[in-house]
Amino acid sequence: MDKDKKKPRGGRFSGNLSNTAEKISSSIHFDRRLYEHDIRGSIAHAIMLNRIGILSGQELALIRKGLSGIKKEIEAGKFRFSESIEDIHMNIEAELIRRIGDAGKKLHTARSRNDQIALDMRLYLRDESDATHELLLKLVRVLVEIAEKELDVIMPGYTHLQVAQPVRFSHHMLCYAWGFLRDGKRLAAVSRECGKLPLGSGACAGLNYPVDREFVSKELGFDEIIPNSMDAVSDRDFILDFLYFAAACGVRLSRLAEEIVLWSSSEFGFVRLSDSVTTGSSIMPQKRNPDIAELIRGKSGRLAGNLMSLLTTLKGLPMTYNRDFQEDKERLFDSIDTIKLSLAGMAEMLATMTINPERMRQAVYKNFSTATDIADYLTLKGVPFRESHGIVGSVVRFCEETGIDFFNLKARDFKKFSDIFEDDIIDIVNPEKSVERKLSAGSTSKKEVLAQIKALKKLIKR
């Protein structure tokens, strides 16, 4: 019998899996990326087994040397993975036994693949969360740098995609910076949750060996052990937490990508994307398509789908381990790869983007962007706000009906609608002066935007 075809779990079975069942069962084509963390966990486990007298010093040395050799071969691309041995754990264990003999057969003492995979996933996700966090911070730095550089650029702020009020372009960029920092807090929480050790729980009930879980926890850099063995092998909350982070962050990236698509269009012309992040058309020679922004926007759907997929997988499972858990990895791996690529792509796109301040300025001088300023002007002079609102609405209607530009009205024109208006109304209408009238904390005034930049820089360093 071909040794690769023999069932890896011993004498209970007289036959082999069918080809179809083998294909359904196999996960090595995607979980091989866990090799480093599986080996790291196995070495810590072996050291602990030596400490409690199950492995001799010689056996421990053989296991460490064998696992180190396997790791080097995998990293060099020379290791032959076998689909018929199902997963990364069994591939590594089978090769270890082939290399060092009976000592390798002792490695799985006092552990189950149930707590082994829970360990691997926590180790892996902790590392990936930290790497993702670096990409997230890089994007926030780019947003802050743009805000600082373009501090005096004024653009329309929108609600319902209609011109609402003048804002600083930097204020708009910082809106996203704050949001991505919130995503970073979610990601930091994932990393903390991953720092809880499941190994030493066995299949579900615990172990008949005096394992030292606290030692293994410290050896692997964990903060604590999971106190319930059933919870240790069945918990996938930490994966859901990452998938939620990725979905939420993906939605934020999508919203920013959508604005870049709009802003880079000929109708807006607020920004110009670099050639490195745009593509042409196969038929229309003039096109500069914002493909990278569109693809980042599109990938957010996958991130949301991965979260929903795992939630659906988990919702009807009894305690503790079920083979359905194999489905968590592809969802997680895809979300990790997708969010990391999207963050890197967005940072590059923004860093190489050119701003067109004049087009933004022109847009502010349309669609009555300072109407609220005029209403506030009247209110500060004693007119109840609802009356002020109505007076300014009448001014807007007059402009629309006569075709007179809102910003070309004279003081005497305003006085026709209320004797409260004075000559200083012309300054109130000016969009470029509007932003500096904002007094509230967190507003778009220069003072408040600079305060945001300072605060964000401090948080990034932290």
Kindly state the percentage of the chain with pLDDT values over 70: 97
Kindly state the percentage of the chain with pLDDT values over 90: 89
Residue with token string 């979610």:
186
Q: Give the pLDDT band (50/70/90) at residue 2.
A: very low
Q: What is the pLDDT of residue 8?
A: 54
Q: What is the pLDDT of residue 317?
A: 95
Q: For 318, which DSSP code?
A: P
Amino acid at 301: G
Q: What is the pLDDT of residue 227?
A: 98
Amino acid at 366: K
Between 288 and 56, the more confident residue is 56
237-263 and 169-194 helices, crossing angle to 10°: 160
> Is the per-residue pLDDT at 273 higher than 50?
yes
- Please state, in angstroms and as integers, the Cα–Cα distance from residue 184 to each residue in 23, 204, 457, following that order: 38, 33, 14
Instruction: For residue range 370-390, list pLDDT tens digits in order.
Output: 999 999 999 999 999 999 999
> Is the per-residue pLDDT at 406 higher than 80?
yes
String of DSSP letters for 221-286: T-SEE-S-HHHHHH--HHHHHHHHHHHHHHHHHHHHHHHHHHHTSTTT-SEE--GGG-B--SS-TT
Q: What is the pLDDT of residue 1?
A: 34
- Write down the catalytic residue from 56, 265, 274, 281: 281
Shortest CA distance to 118 belongs to which of 268, 276, 225, 25?
225
Q: For 326, which DSSP code?
A: G
Whether the CB-CB separation of 197 and 225 falls below 8 Å is answered with: yes
Q: What is the pLDDT of residue 51?
A: 98
> 56-65, 95-104, 186-195, 360-369: which has the minimum mean pLDDT?
360-369
Is residue 160 part of the annotated active site? The answer reads yes
Instruction: For residue range 132-158, list pLDDT tens digits in order.
Output: 999 999 999 999 999 999 999 999 999
Shortest CA distance to 351 belongs to which of 144, 63, 60, 94?
144
> Is the per-residue pLDDT at 12 higher than 70?
no
Is residue 281 part of the annotated active site? The answer reads yes
Q: What is the pLDDT of residue 366?
A: 85
CA angle 111, 117, 119 (to 5 degrees): 80
> Is the per-residue pLDDT at 3 higher than 60?
no
| Residues with Cβ within 8 Å of residue 303, at least 6 apart in sequence | 243, 246, 247, 249, 250, 251, 335, 338, 339
> Is the per-residue pLDDT at 7 higher than 60?
no
Radius of gyration of the chain (CA): 31
Residue with token string 């935007």:
449
**Domains defined along the chain, listed by start:** 19-105 (1.10.275.10), 113-209+224-362 (1.20.200.10)
Instruction: For residue range 220-267, list pLDDT tens digits in order.
Output: 999 999 999 999 999 999 999 999 999 999 999 999 999 999 999 999
Spell out the alpha helix ranges (H) of 150-194. Answer: 169-194
Instruction: For residue range 332-373, list pLDDT tens digits in order.
Output: 999 999 999 999 999 999 999 999 999 999 999 988 999 999
Q: Give the pLDDT band (50/70/90) at residue 286.
A: confident
Give the whole-angstrom CA distance, residue 364 versus residue 158. Answer: 10
Q: What is the pLDDT of residue 21?
A: 86
Q: Give the pLDDT band (50/70/90) at residue 16.
A: confident
Q: Give the pLDDT band (50/70/90) at residue 287.
A: confident
Give the whole-angstrom CA distance, residue 34 versus residue 81. Answer: 13
- Please state, in angstroms and as integers, the Cα–Cα distance from residue 67 to each residue in 28, 92, 412, following that order: 18, 8, 87
- Write down the catalytic residue from 160, 276, 282, 440: 160
Shortest CA distance to 225 belongs to which of 215, 217, 234?
217
Q: Which residues of 181-213 are buried (b: 16+ CB within 10 A; e: fewer)?
A: bebbebbeebbebbbbbbbbbbbbeebebebbb
